[in-house]
């Protein structure tokens, strides 16, 4: 990574930094980070992209970046921005290519010691049962054109109706696993073709299914409400809308470039192409994005079912014995219409979260009833060698970040740089020496996703915890991972 000139930035406190409004910026930029992690943000285009987002019409209060931020397409990954419904815009760059890439967490009645001798068998069986890798397909789950349209409009409910899980799962998914407003009519033929064979697959890159155990509990009362006990097993699923979502983004970037010119929107970067929220183009994009989001919710629901089946078969336990209940499922890449308190008044706004997690507080109507007293669960996966965290949302998140927090560790190295650094190393063996059994579709994926490629998730989580935009509840330690 080459050094870049330092972008002007002012310290607010130990967790927040300001990019002052200059030129045609509509608002300041606010970056959540620590002094130790700040230099990395100054080496890529993250700060520049935060400032660029602040140029967009109708942006409200701040252009935000979370502590796991790094440069992305248009918006930084880890970026959050809210836009006025009348004067604001919606932008594919503020959601990203992997629409509704997200994470779900399951708990279990199993202790670490109960499965210690079965981890290798569980990882092998998960790898066999859940298709991984670029272009991976599930041979025994074939969708007709009509069925695929049902997936796009019904989301996770469709999967449950087919026997993949239960209605109880739906209660613990963001938006109950279905974004309203999806319209299959705006989806291209190519997107349909790419989506049809890939439902129920993990994909490649940083997507994974991970077996963890609860290593540390920071708040035992809230952990108990979530069903998480020290030394007990939990399973994390991280994936999104696969080739379908990628194609939706690609299709609409072309439309949005034309729309930006049509509506006279001055862009500091073409990758921020956008359209007014209420324009025909803006509504079409939202309807297509909702389709992709619902595909992703369905994808994670089906994978969850196969994870449960795998554990039942390998461990020869019944569902009642395992109690592999869904704790929660959150979206990381999404644009949503939400109501927030702005300058003392409730306003409906369009919140873009790109590599960021919703973090609604206790009492919020959109938090599942089972968790309403504690706040929305926030799931923060780390790299495959260190740890992950479960947090809950807070009132400070609602007032400071539009109910948002970080989404993971955040990359330190590009995939190319990671592969170069991993040359000659057996990453799988290094992981095994650390007590983590890993299976992947190829060596390149393990090189790209090695722990050194990421920031330390503990440092990232400490920033959001100390800034008050989410609270640490438990720490998870990986013991088995499958990747694309």
Q: Is 332 annotated to bind ligand? A: yes
Is residue 250 scored above 50 in pLDDT? yes
pLDDT at 1: 43
pLDDT at 372: 98
Higher pLDDT, 443 or 130: 130
- In sequence order, which residues have a C-beta less than 8 Å from that of residue 56 and are 6 or more positions away? 26, 81, 83, 88, 89, 91, 265, 272, 274
pLDDT at 2: 46
Mean pLDDT computed over 326-348: 97
- Report phi then psi at 109, rounded to 5: -90, 0
Residues pairing with 130 in the sheet: none
pLDDT at 206: 84
Is residue 139 scored above 70 in pLDDT? no
Domains with residue ranges and CATH for the chain: 10-483 (3.90.1860.10)
- In sequence order, which residues have a C-beta less than 8 Å from that of residue 431 and are 6 or more positions away? 384, 385, 437, 438, 446, 481
Q: Is 206 annotated to bind ligand? A: yes
Quote the DSSP letter at residue 365. T
Q: Is 207 annotated to bind ligand? A: yes
Neighbours of 365 (CB within 10 A): 8
Mean pLDDT computed over 266-277: 97
Is residue 199 scored above 80 in pLDDT? yes
- Report phi then psi at 190, rounded to 5: -65, -40
Q: Is 70 annotated to bind ligand? A: no
Summary mean pLDDT of the chain: 93
Structure token digits, residue 15: 């967790």
Cα distance between residue 8 and residue 134, in whole Å: 40
- In order of 137, 163, 253, 472, the CA distances from 467 in angstroms are 42, 42, 35, 12
Lowest mean pLDDT among 13-27, 201-215, 393-407, 408-422: 408-422
Q: How far is C-alpha 464 from the geometric centre of its chain's CA atoms?
A: 16
Is residue 15 scored above 50 in pLDDT? yes
Q: Is 243 annotated to bind ligand? A: no
Tens of pLDDT, residue by residue over 453-469, are 777 899 999 999 999 99
| Residues designated as active site | 407
Tens of pLDDT, residue by residue over 144-165, are 889 999 999 999 999 999 999 9
pLDDT at 444: 73
Query: Quick one: which of 88, 14, 8, 85 has its CA closest to 41?
Result: 8
Let me know: does 289 contact 337? Beta carbons within 8 Å. Answer: no
pLDDT at 449: 75
Q: Report the predicted TM-score, pTM, of the whole model to 2 decimal places.
A: 0.95
């Amino acid at each position: 990574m080459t050094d870049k000139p330092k972008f002007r930035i002012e310290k607010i406190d130990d967790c927040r930094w300001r990019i002052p409004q200059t030129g045609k910026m509509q608002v300041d930029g606010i970056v959540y980070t620590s002094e130790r992690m700040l230099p990395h943000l100054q080496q890529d285009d993250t700060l520049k992209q935060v400032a660029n987002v602040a140029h967009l019409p109708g942006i409200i209060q701040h252009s935000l970046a979370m502590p796991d931020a790094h440069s992305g397409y248009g918006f930084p990954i880890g970026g959050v921005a809210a836009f006025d419904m009348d004067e604001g815009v919606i932008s594919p760059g503020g959601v990203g290519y992997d629409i509704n890439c997200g994470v779900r967490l399951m708990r279990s009645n199993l202790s670490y010691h109960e499965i210690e001798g079965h981890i290798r068998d569980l990882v092998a069986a998960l790898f066999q049962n859940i298709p991984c890798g670029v272009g991976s397909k599930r041979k025994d789950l074939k969708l007709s054109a009509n069925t695929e349209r049902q997936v796009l409009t019904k989301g996770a409910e469709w999967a449950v109706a087919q026997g993949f899980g239960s209605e109880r799962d739906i209660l613990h998914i963001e938006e109950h696993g279905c974004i309203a407003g999806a319209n299959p009519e705006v989806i291209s033929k190519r997107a349909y073709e790419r989506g049809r064979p890939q439902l129920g697959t993990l994909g490649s890159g940083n997507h994974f299914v991970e077996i963890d155990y609860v290593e540390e509990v920071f708040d035992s009362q809230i952990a108990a409400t979530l069903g998480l006990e020290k030394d007990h097993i939990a399973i994390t699923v991280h994936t999104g809308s696969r080739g379908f979502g990628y194609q939706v983004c690609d299709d609409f970037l072309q439309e949005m470039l034309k729309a930006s010119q049509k509506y006279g929107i001055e862009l500091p970067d073409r990758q921020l192409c956008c359209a007014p929220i209420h324009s025909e183009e803006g509504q079409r994009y939202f309807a297509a994005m909702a389709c992709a989001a619902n595909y992703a919710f369905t994808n994670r629901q089906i994978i969850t079912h196969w994870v449960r089946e795998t554990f039942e078969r390998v461990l020869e336990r019944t569902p009642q014995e395992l109690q592999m209940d869904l704790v929660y499922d959150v979206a990381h890449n999404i644009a949503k219409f939400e109501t927030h308190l702005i300058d003392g008044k409730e306003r409906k706004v369009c919140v873009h979260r790109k590599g960021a997690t919703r973090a609604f507080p206790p009492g919020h109507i959109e938090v599942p009833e089972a968790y309403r007293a504690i706040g929305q669960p926030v799931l923060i996966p780390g790299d495959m060698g260190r740890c992950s965290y479960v947090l809950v949302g807070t009132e400070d998140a609602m007032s400071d970040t539009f109910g948002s927090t970080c989404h993971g560790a955040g990359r330190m190295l590009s995939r190319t740089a990671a592969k170069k650094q991993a040359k000659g190393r057996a990453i799988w063996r290094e992981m095994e020496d650390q007590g983590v059994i890993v299976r992947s579709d190829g060596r390149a994926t393990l090189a790209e996703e090695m722990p050194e490629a990421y920031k330390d998730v503990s440092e990232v989580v400490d920033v959001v915890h100390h800034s008050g935009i989410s609270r640490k509840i438990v720490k998870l330690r990986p013991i088995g991972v499958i990747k694309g």
